[in-house]
Chain A
Amino acid sequence: MTTTVDWSELQPELIESIAHKLKIHKDYIHFRSVCWNWRKSTSKTPKHLPCQLPWLMFPHSSNQNQQSHLRLFFSLSDDKIYRISLPEASTIRRRCGSSHGWLVYLEETPGVFVINPLTRVKHHLPPLCSFPNVVNFSVYNVGREYTLKTVEGDVYYTCSLKEMRNSFIKKVVFSSSPSDEDLDYYALAIVNQTGDLAYCRKGGDVWRFVDDAQLCCEDVVFHKGCFYAVSKYGTIAVCDICGDFSNGVPNVSFIHTQLQVGGDMQYLVSLGDELLLVTRYLELGFHAYKTTEFRVFKLVLKDGWMWKSVLELDDWALFVGENSSVAIRASDFEGCKGNKIYFTDDYSEWNYDGANGDHDLGVYDLEGGSVAALPCYTRKFYNGRRWPPPIWITPSLH
């Protein structure tokens, strides 16, 4: 290729406009490393990039002696494993969310923090002892550090540090990237024992309960400006938490559909303007379980609200598991196929140590109804379950 052109001389606004056409992180980073002028003319944290193809964060590997701070992330599009130093993700902490590229961690203190593995930026959410049902916390009550009260408020019970870390919160979902630079964000947590939904906002000190939404605690997703929570049977609670509400109480409305019976787990996925319900079917054996099927529905209004069966997703691929569910357009990314559901192990009913076999994860093909292994899971590389289970995370630079 012959040329006498000096591309570094291009005007900043043209460089920026070209950069806006890039959809993939790696391409954007390469773009910024072309020359000093191109680097100067483009923002370090691109906000225009669409949601990236999720990486799979592996559990700690068995030989973690010297390099326990390194965590492995598998990228479907590159077919590569990235090793990132993330000492914050040690085994004494429990991960309870992966949303907008940030991981949420609990530890054996009341602290809750979020961290972006790529940028290593970290900050705190309000602590566990700020939940409305936590009446007391004292480190001197060894083994019973937390005192909680039931919903009715009449019975008190205690929990240890470990118990709170392991089972108090099921999942945390964000309305937008919880990065400092950005606008307000809201976090919604599903409280495991009571099924409550609790929320906090950027910079807040406490978690508050969303009243009346206890039953809808299977999964939560941020969709069209509100948090949508689903019950086991398909009822939706629409929680309008963002913005100002006059009496200090967020508005909650319910969408009642026909009873969704069957299935072991429910997920909600936001796909553009549509809300999808993804039902996961497990085959439960003796000390082992595995996913056999997924069924997808979309919320439609026709003589009342109902979940209408969706037989194919065309170019879309869904990513479900412990993470905040994500829908990706497969043709935007290499290594991703449409009409498939990429899933990870998410069965919290069983104490993790007690389960045998391999991790319950793979790719479900909606067309054929079959489950295939993920490309990174070969017998050679991995065997048996390990804590914590793998999780999808959408790599994000902000």
Chain B
Amino acid sequence: MSFSKTIMLRNYDGETFVVDEVVAVEPQTIEHMIEDGCANTSIPLPNITSKILSKVIEHCKKHVETPNSNEKDAKADLKSFDFDFVKADQGTLFDLILAVNYLNIKGLLDLIYQTIADMIKGKTPEEEEEMRRVNAWVFSCFVGVTCLYFKSKKI
């Protein structure tokens, strides 16, 4: 039986999450806080909601628990987990990117960047227009110039 040290994370809603230290140090921000001795009682994360923090912890846990091997099954399992993990609504993704950026979890950050980039990829101008309309983005006048570069004619 082994005892692993636990760390307490206290978030925006005042909730506390108890996690194993090995999971808690996945976010570099927390790792540095512990090293700097700021983690006596609990680590404050005032700008992260419970929903987002529990998602982040879930991701860190999964990646810590999965053995770091080149084994095909382990890799496929992680890939599948990541794939399902980012199947979230835009609101969650937005909050996630801010939280993960603050927490500085490189792997998860990369995953979210790629997810958002994939949302832009391959959109037709009509689909983009729809997204813009729904999200009320500010439409830049430079778009006219970029459209000129790609004035296309289908044959």
Where the two chains meet, the residues of A that have a C-beta atom closer than 8 Å to any C-beta of B are 1-8, 10-11, 14, 17-22, 24, 26-27, 29-37, 39, 78-83, 118, 376, 381
CA distance A1 to B93 in the complex (A): 13
Distance (whole angstroms) from the CB of A271 to the closest CB of chain B: 24
Known A3-B90, A27-B121, A30-B123: A8·B150 in contact at CB below 8 Å: no
Report chain B residues within 8 Å CB of A381. 155
Contact between B146 and A33 (Cβ–Cβ < 8 Å)?
Answer: yes
Contact between A32 and B146 (Cβ–Cβ < 8 Å)?
Answer: yes
B2-10, B30-38, B76-84, B137-145 - the one binding chain A? B137-145
Distance (whole angstroms) from the CB of A3 to the closest CB of chain B: 4
Report chain B residues within 8 Å CB of A17. 109, 113
Q: What are 10 A-B contacts defined by CB distance under 8 Å?
A: A1-B89, A5-B90, A5-B135, A18-B116, A22-B120, A29-B149, A32-B142, A33-B140, A81-B152, A83-B151
Report chain A residues within 8 Å CB of B121. 22, 24, 27
CA distance A37 to B138 in the complex (A): 9
Report chain B residues within 8 Å CB of A32. 142, 146
Report chain B residues within 8 Å CB of A82. 150-153
Contact between A27 and B122 (Cβ–Cβ < 8 Å)?
Answer: yes
Report chain B residues within 8 Å CB of A27. 117, 120-122
Distance (whole angstroms) from the CB of A101 to the closest CB of chain B: 13
CA distance A17 to B114 in the complex (A): 9
Known A14-B101, A18-B113, A24-B121: A8·B138 in contact at CB below 8 Å: yes
Report chain B residues within 8 Å CB of A5. 90-91, 94, 135
Q: Could you tell me which residues of chain B, from 78 to 131, have a CB within 8 Å of some CB in chain A?
A: 89-91, 94, 97, 101, 109, 113-114, 116-118, 120-123, 128
CA distance A79 to B150 in the complex (A): 13
Distance (whole angstroms) from the CB of B155 to the closest CB of chain A: 5
Known A17-B113, A22-B120, A81-B153: A7·B140 in contact at CB below 8 Å: no
Report chain A residues within 8 Å CB of B132. 34
Distance (whole angstroms) from the CB of A147 to the closest CB of chain B: 44
Known A1-B90, A31-B120: A8·B154 in contact at CB below 8 Å: no
Question: Is B134 part of the contact surface with A, judged by Cβ < 8 Å?
Answer: yes
Q: Could you tell me which residues of chain B, from 52 to 71, have a CB within 8 Å of some CB in chain A?
A: none
Which of the residues B94, B122, B134 comes within 8 Å of A1, measured between beta carbons? B134
Known A4-B91, A18-B113, A22-B117: A35·B140 in contact at CB below 8 Å: yes
